[in-house]
Amino acid sequence: MNKKQLVLLVLILFLTISAFAQELAEKYLEQGVACDKHGDIAKAIDYYSKAIEADSNRVEAYYARAMDYYWIQEYDKAWADVNKVNGLGTKVRFPEQFILDLKSVSNK
């Protein structure tokens, strides 16, 4: 195998793994949303965390987990996810009232 073939093989492998991770993250995200709909916030947080483990740039998982941390009064964890969402450089923003409420209850 020459160098060009090796580079191509590594690229294909990387893309395959990346696609699998994104698909896995999407499944975990969907499971988290389903748990939220049924009121099982702790389980939803677990699924959002798994989605983040599979794809650390999955902004929707950080967003949803921040909201859930807020509801169970884990304010420092909520702030960590808010900051991660903001740090990912996406156009996703939390509602202004959510941020105001989080600041109020966390004294930040």
pLDDT, tens digit, for every residue of 32-59? 999 999 999 999 999 999 999 999 999 9
Residue 15 pLDDT > 50, yes or no? Answer: no
Largest pairwise CA distance in the chain: 62
Q: What is the pTM of this model?
A: 0.82
Q: What are the residue ranges spanned by the domains of the chain?
A: 3-106
Select from 3.30.160.60, 3.30.70.141, 1.10.3430.10, 1.25.40.10 the CATH code of 3-106. 1.25.40.10
- What CA–CA distance (Å, rounded) separates 38 from 69? 16
Question: Which is more confidently placed, 71 or 8?
Answer: 71
| 29 CB-near residues (< 8 Å, 6+ apart) | 47, 48, 51, 58, 60, 61, 64
Amino acid 92: pLDDT: 83
Count of alpha carbons within 13 angstroms of residue 48, beta-carbon side: 24
Closest CA to 85 of 99, 101, 72, 106: 99
